[in-house]
Structure 1
Amino acid sequence: MKKYVYLALFIAIDIAWACSKSDTDLPDLVDDPEEITINDVLESDPEDFVENATFTSTVTIKYSGNNATVSSLPTGVSVSCNGADVTITSSIDQVEYILSGTSPDGMFKLYSDKKFKLTLNTVNLTNPDGPAINIQSGKRAYVVLPDNTTNTLTDGTSYTSSGSEDMKACFFSEGQLVFSGTGSLNITANYKHGICSDDYVRIRAGVTLSIQQAVKDGIHANDYVLIDGGTLHINASGDGIECEKGCIEINGGEITINSTDDGIVASCEDNDYTISPFIKINGGNLTITTSGQKGMAIKSESNTTINGGDLRLAVSGEASKGIKSGGHVVITGGTLDITTTGNAFYESNDISSAAGIKCDGSFKITNPGTTLTVTSSGSAGKGINCDGTLTIENCTVNVTTTGKPYIYGRLDASAKGIKSDGNLTIKGSNVTVKTTGGENSEGIESKATLTIESGTIEVIAYDDCINAANAIVINGGMIYCYSSNNDGIDSNGTLTITGGTVIASGTTMPEEGFDCDQNTFTITGGIIIGTGGSTSTPTTKTCTQHSLVYGTSGTEGQIINIQSPDGTSILTYQLPRSYTQLTFLFSSPSLAANTTYTVSTGGSVAGGTEFHGLHTNATYTGGSSVTTFTTNSMVTSVGSTSGGGGRPNGPGSFGGD
């Protein structure tokens, strides 16, 4: 007896014939990103291996034109032939059926209450009025494709009914279908699905399967689909691979899917079923292309786990998604390249947008070598969008969105690079985000708290580069933010920086390099450089590291140099753009108390290393001294500055609370 085991978050559930969990449990939003662990398990049944079974009887069916010859019938097996339409009825176990030959008007049909072996030994069947192969048996069928064989199945555009029998695919079975061997099978499905089981489908390594056309789904199963390997090419007008009431797991193989609807989907079509259909990808090379409105390359009603593999997902329909999950998405390995080109559209008093990844639960991507690249060009398209927490840890993430805002009446939506409704955490990762589509096109956004622990984060955005509703906390990392029309870093609550190198460039007045309104802005460590028409001023009573707020002007590429009394450069920085009114924020552990520093501009720099205009261990020469300042307070203001959301500050004044 086969089993699934679904190990949910904190709860193990073992249910035969289904991956079960109540729909009311979804989505399960996780507050602690460390708790986003998914252990969806689809047990491998050794009885699926044909080499573990024994077959004592062999029945051969040879097709030739409009006729078929059946030989070697053992006791307990009967046959009925109508031209090349062959119907077998068996009451015995351990029987192998071998099909060969060609017929333009033939089929194979089997009634049996025992498991059996079906060997396709270079057979070419076309059935104009029904399935080419029709297995009316609820038992396991071992479908074997011998080495160096090419087999072809084609059904009709309509089926002649046979009582209440279910038959909805070119290759149909009431029971389990397990494909093995190193031969190939080509299927053209003109009625509905290419391959369908009202139980499960398993494809073992070595199989070559080509569903050249399917009016509906390429592979359709009821309980689950398990792909161990092989080569699969699927062209479907519906879904590429769908599990109607269960789970899909892919462990390897070369899989190419072109579909109008979804590529790979674990759905929940029976509302009376309490299930949790997950998708798990452990390896393989997958290329999935979808073109329909709201078409999803990978779609799960519950959780989606990717532990490895090379995935290339391209979706072009309106509001289409590369990965759509009703629960959590966890990526622990592999390379993912997702492209979305579909525009947003209005639907049911809301705007639906395309997204590289959309999950109703939480999202976590982790582990060295794991790479995710998302490119979105449709209006209001999102890179990564989740309703729960979002965690990027020890991996590489690249997101580019270029879509313009979408407006319908009073409703509007804009492109976003990375967005979460819950807390967002980045640790030890290389993250690049570019959003150039227009108003409200933000780079990285959290509707709660955004925390950066470490890594290299580079964001170029039309609107805010990094934004959070409650708080932004930066504890380390190399961070660069350049906004072409708004703030570099914008917190609607508090802003805390304890370490790292943080460069934030906002545009002209009233936009800011660092913006936290009049909320607490704490600096206790790190190198901080902010440029904009204005800035939020660090809060003196919470800071332990000195800062400079410098009001001046500057041109793109101009160097600002700050030297200590002994002539040591503690800052050499080139402006990323021109400002007629520049509010320059600088903080560094090198700024000592009660010390006078010299500010120079112009000149040149040579040697050392450079990170977006910040030169380290470089030689600065030829500049002109423009001012000095003395760090008599935790925050020193020089020149005419603007702070705290556009509030002008005179020389020596301070913002914050």
Structure 2
Amino acid sequence: MSPKSLLKTLFSTASVFLALVVQLRAEVDRDRLEESDFAKTVEIVFNGSSSTVSSAADVSISYGSQSSQVIVTANEPGVRFTLSGSSSNGYLQVTSAYRCLVDLEGVELASGDGPALALLTEERSFLTLGEGSVNVLSDSATYTRDGNGTIDASGGLMVSGDGSLQVSSLAAHAIYAADDIRVFGGKIEVTAAAKDALHPKDLFRLDHGSLTLDASGDGIDAGDGIEIYGGSVQVVCPEDDSKGLATDGNFTMAGGTVVVSMEGAQSKAISADGDFSMTGGSAFLKLSGDVVLETVEGDASTYMDPSYSSALKCKGAVSVSDGSLLVTHTGLAGKGISADGEISVSGGGIDISLMGGASDSFTDEDGETDTATADAIKSDTNILITDGQIRIRLAGASSDGLSASEALTIEGGEFVLDLEGDASKGLKSKGTMTLAGGEFDFYLTGDVLLESVSTSYYDPSYCTAIKCDDSLTVSGGTFVVKHAGTAGKGVSVDGDIVMSGGSFDIYTTGGPSSTFTNESGSTDIAASDCFKADGNLTITGGTLLTEATGNAGDAISCVGDATLGVLGDDTYPIITANVSGSRVSVSNRNYSNPKGFKSEGDLVMNGGHFSSTTTSSGAEGMESKASLTIAGGIIEIEAADDGINASRSLTISGGQVYSYSSSNDGIDSNGTITISGGTVLASGSTSPEEGFDCDNNTFTITGGIVVGTGGSTSTPSSSTSTQRSVIYSGTGTKDVVLQVKSSSGDNLVYRIPRSYAGGGGGRGGSSGGSMTLLFSNPNLASSTKYTILTGVTATGGTEFHGLITGATVSGGTQVTTFTPSSMVTSVN
């Protein structure tokens, strides 16, 4: 290698080495004591009003009014000050351009005119607690020397060791630093502080050690941020408007234990003006302070602005990915987690109990009457939860569990919500809500709250498991809701609901409220709803089980249009809508009736499986106040009132439909009925109730298998029908199998669903027999003779609510024969 090449190689190697050294130096944690060398020692032993100083360093020493008041200037780097002994009027003040170390080896100092330990250094200072040592520092109520606390550091303060330190302040902060405070070890106890227990102007960081803090001001007030990676912090703040741990910057918790007890009104256990991040550790926050209604003099009027007592108040975003957060709050309108920014939870555990109620009513900034209420987890923007365990208990009225001002999205996690307060909400979003995963258990006992809007009417505020002011989208998750409160709501959405997956089991057992005057001036009641949309309702997948047992309670309802299922898929969604409560008289002849499924708009069923049972008068199984269309799916209804009811028209083109009414019509349309396909079985009660009832409107059959039993029936319209029908009047006995056959085979094998007794007559076609049977299918031929037999035996085959296919039929008694020469043939 030439000299020139060698020189070039050496220069390149040196450059790489130098860059590595620079990188390593940058990675050195200069806050750690072991990264500094303090080889020169100044030993100070305090003894009452005097002290003994032994120095092996270049220092300048002077004293205050007595020699226990030691003033030292360190003129060189690497100086260690070792303190021991005691003085009731002593202190140490160190001034240096260099970093220095103060080693407490069993010292007790009470300063009468300022800080007991003042570290006036341009760089960080180190404070060590000797192993097994007990150290006590205090100040007095009046300062004549400059200082901001019993321990006052003009730079950063790094604390380590295995001893203990007890600090108190009668005039200022207990421990103050103009830069960072970082704790690596030791046992630090602040027994009292006139201001804050710890007050770093920049960062507070806890790596190890324990802190027990009692302060009149804040426990820890850090300017730039708080970071906790280990150790423990216990804070007690009894005063109003105080903070346990507060920072103008970000709060990071990656380990350790935080225990905070706040007793004052409008206090905050943890307060961050920046973001809050929890990736480990445990926080136990206990609060008992109330909300404070502060008077604000506005430009046009005076109003009240609530200042809350919060476990965690964050002006930025909140993120929890691991660790545990436990909150207990007994104050009025207490807040658990309250963030101006987004809240995201991807792991860990959160347990929040809010036991206090709402504040007194007040006039807010908009001139409206309002109350301050409790929130467990609240964001002024969005909430996103992908994993973790969350448990919430709400005891006060109008409290909210998870509340988002914009959007609430849940993709996973485990949730338990206990709602005891009247008008409380479990999940609440003022914007949209998306539920894509998670396991939920809701236990609700809170009642509806009738809020007086003016002297003229009341507005009901409901206790609700899931409440959304905009639209709700459900694609996953399992939800179990058990509601025992008066007029309780399971899912209530002001906008649309779109459900494509997930599983709901919703049970409401509470009855209705007392009567009240509503906004329109009418007498009204508030009643329970399992699953309700004030907009449109679309369910194309998942499982929805609803059961309302309270009087006037509805299972499923929507104000707009309803769409159920997807054509060609009879498996999902699975929808069950059961009600067992009675109707309630509201005023005169106005009743509030329980409903299985009710749509104020059009109702379309394309697929899936729908079932409903009802037990009282006025309780339909499936109802549309407009048009009802069934294009596919499976419907199984056993109702006390109409099984299926449509106000405008009913159209069936596919699916399997069984609709049974114990005291009214099987299928009832106040307008037309059109059947072009599917299998439709309708069973009404005795005369004058009908299997099919369309009030003498057009009844068109152009296809499908149609069987209706009742005391009477509407007669299919010959002018519009293209498939022949037969109306048979005769005896009907429950579970007796009736057969209609021709020489070529069975046309109908049907198990009669109930016994019919009494005379015939009534609306539509019927005769004097006690049962009227309407049947129609594509195989009825005009030139074929058919025989009707009763009491036959059917073996094998399949059965759908009495309609038997593929069976071997034998025996029976011939009743009559007929030939369907007309589009509609009556047979007696």
The equivalent position to 1:258 in structure 2, one of 418, 426, 446, is 418
2:318 counterpart of 1:141? no
Q: Give the equivalent residue in structure 1 for 2:45.
A: none
Judging changes above 3 Å, is the alpha-carbon distance between structure 1 residues 512 and 58 closer, same or farther for their aligned structure 2 residues?
farther
Q: In 2, distance between residues paired with 1:198 and 1:604?
A: 71
Offset, 1:159: 6.9
Contact in 2 for aligned 1:176/1:197 (Cα 8 Å): no
Structure 1 portions without partners, runs of 5+? 1-55, 269-276, 640-657
Judging changes above 3 Å, is the alpha-carbon distance between structure 1 residues 76 and 505 closer, same or farther for their aligned structure 2 residues?
closer
Judging changes above 3 Å, is the alpha-carbon distance between structure 1 residues 539 and 287 closer, same or farther for their aligned structure 2 residues?
same
Offset, 1:102: 3.0
Judging changes above 3 Å, is the alpha-carbon distance between structure 1 residues 60 and 404 closer, same or farther for their aligned structure 2 residues?
farther
Q: Give the equivalent residue in structure 2 for 1:154.
A: 286
Q: Give the equivalent residue in structure 1 for 2:489.
A: 321
2:389 counterpart of 1:231? yes
2:243 counterpart of 1:83? no
Judging changes above 3 Å, is the alpha-carbon distance between structure 1 residues 95 and 572 closer, same or farther for their aligned structure 2 residues?
closer
Judging changes above 3 Å, is the alpha-carbon distance between structure 1 residues 634 and 166 closer, same or farther for their aligned structure 2 residues?
closer
Q: Give the equivalent residue in structure 1 for 2:683.
A: 505
After superposition, the C-alpha distances for 1:328-348 in whole angstroms (9 at most, x for unaligned) are 111111111111112122232
Contact in 2 for aligned 1:105/1:126 (Cα 8 Å): yes
State how 1:278-293 maps to structure 2 within 5 Å. Answer: 278-293=432-447
Q: Give the equivalent residue in structure 2 for 1:609.
A: 798
Structure 2 portions without partners, runs of 5+? 1-178, 206-212, 297-304, 357-373, 448-461, 518-522, 566-571, 758-769
Judging changes above 3 Å, is the alpha-carbon distance between structure 1 residues 550 and 502 closer, same or farther for their aligned structure 2 residues?
same
Q: Give the equivalent residue in structure 2 for 1:271.
A: none
Q: TM-score, normalised by structure 1?
A: 0.80
3-state SS of 1:218 partner: strand
Q: Give the equivalent residue in structure 1 for 2:635.
A: 457
3-state SS of 2:244 partner: strand
Of 235-244 and 452-461, the range deviating more from structure 2: 235-244
Q: In 2, distance between residues paired with 1:194 and 1:65?
A: 27
Amino acid at match of 1:405: R
Amino acid at match of 1:284: G
The equivalent position to 1:570 in structure 2, one of 747, 768, 773, is 747
Amino acid at match of 1:330: V
Q: In 1, distance between residues paired with 2:476 and 2:389?
A: 17
State how 1:239-638 maps to structure 2 within 5 Å. Answer: 239-243=399-403, 245-259=405-419, 260=421, 261-266=423-428, 277-293=431-447, 294-345=462-513, 346-348=515-517, 349-367=523-541, 370-393=542-565, 394-410=572-588, 411-436=590-615, 438-566=616-744, 568-580=745-757, 581-638=770-827
Judging changes above 3 Å, is the alpha-carbon distance between structure 1 residues 258 and 75 closer, same or farther for their aligned structure 2 residues?
closer
After superposition, the C-alpha distances for 1:5-49 in whole angstroms (9 at most, x for unaligned) are xxxxxxxxxxxxxxxxxxxxxxxxxxxxxxxxxxxxxxxxxxxxx
Amino acid at match of 1:234: I
Offset, 1:317: 1.8
Q: In 1, distance between residues paired with 2:781 and 2:659?
A: 27
3-state SS of 1:388 partner: coil
3-state SS of 1:442 partner: coil
Amino acid at match of 2:547: T
Q: In 1, distance between residues paired with 2:227 and 2:261?
A: 24
Judging changes above 3 Å, is the alpha-carbon distance between structure 1 residues 406 and 611 closer, same or farther for their aligned structure 2 residues?
same
Contact in 2 for aligned 1:281/1:307 (Cα 8 Å): yes
Q: TM-score, normalised by structure 2?
A: 0.64
Judging changes above 3 Å, is the alpha-carbon distance between structure 1 residues 463 and 161 closer, same or farther for their aligned structure 2 residues?
closer
Amino acid at match of 2:816: T
Q: Give the equivalent residue in structure 1 for 2:153.
A: none
Q: In 1, distance between residues paired with 2:797 and 2:624?
A: 36
Q: Give the equivalent residue in structure 2 for 1:102.
A: 234
Offset, 1:243: 2.8
Q: Give the equivalent residue in structure 2 for 1:206.
A: 347
The equivalent position to 2:312 in structure 1, one of 164, 172, 192, is 172
Contact in 2 for aligned 1:88/1:110 (Cα 8 Å): yes
Judging changes above 3 Å, is the alpha-carbon distance between structure 1 residues 229 and 76 closer, same or farther for their aligned structure 2 residues?
closer
Offset, 1:95: 6.1
Offset, 1:84: 7.7
Offset, 1:228: 2.2
Contact in 1 for aligned 2:504/2:544 (Cα 8 Å): yes
Contact in 1 for aligned 2:267/2:289 (Cα 8 Å): no
After superposition, the C-alpha distances for 1:136-170 in whole angstroms (9 at most, x for unaligned) are 55422223433xxx431101244799999975244
Judging changes above 3 Å, is the alpha-carbon distance between structure 1 residues 161 and 474 closer, same or farther for their aligned structure 2 residues?
closer
Contact in 2 for aligned 1:399/1:434 (Cα 8 Å): yes
Q: Give the equivalent residue in structure 1 for 2:252.
A: 117
Q: In 2, distance between residues paired with 1:161 and 1:526?
A: 68
Of 187-196 and 334-343, the range deviating more from structure 2: 187-196
Alpha carbon RMSD of aligned pairs, Å? 3.0
Offset, 1:245: 3.1
Contact in 2 for aligned 1:246/1:266 (Cα 8 Å): no
Offset, 1:409: 2.6
Judging changes above 3 Å, is the alpha-carbon distance between structure 1 residues 163 and 601 closer, same or farther for their aligned structure 2 residues?
closer
3-state SS of 2:638 partner: strand
Amino acid at match of 1:319: A
2:390 counterpart of 1:222? no
Q: In 1, distance between residues paired with 2:580 and 2:294?
A: 54
Judging changes above 3 Å, is the alpha-carbon distance between structure 1 residues 487 and 166 closer, same or farther for their aligned structure 2 residues?
closer
Q: In 2, distance between residues paired with 1:629 and 1:538?
A: 18
Contact in 2 for aligned 1:193/1:219 (Cα 8 Å): no
Judging changes above 3 Å, is the alpha-carbon distance between structure 1 residues 320 and 65 closer, same or farther for their aligned structure 2 residues?
farther
Q: In 2, distance between residues paired with 1:248 and 1:75?
A: 35
Offset, 1:476: 0.9
Q: Give the equivalent residue in structure 1 for 2:115.
A: none
Offset, 1:237: 1.9
Offset, 1:559: 1.6
3-state SS of 2:560 partner: coil
Amino acid at match of 2:486: E
3-state SS of 1:464 partner: coil
Structure with the greater relative contact order (CA < 8 A, sep ≥ 6): 1 or 2? 1
Judging changes above 3 Å, is the alpha-carbon distance between structure 1 residues 118 and 607 closer, same or farther for their aligned structure 2 residues?
closer
Q: In 1, distance between residues paired with 2:270 and 2:283?
A: 17
Q: In 1, distance between residues paired with 2:322 and 2:181?
A: 21
Amino acid at match of 2:782: A
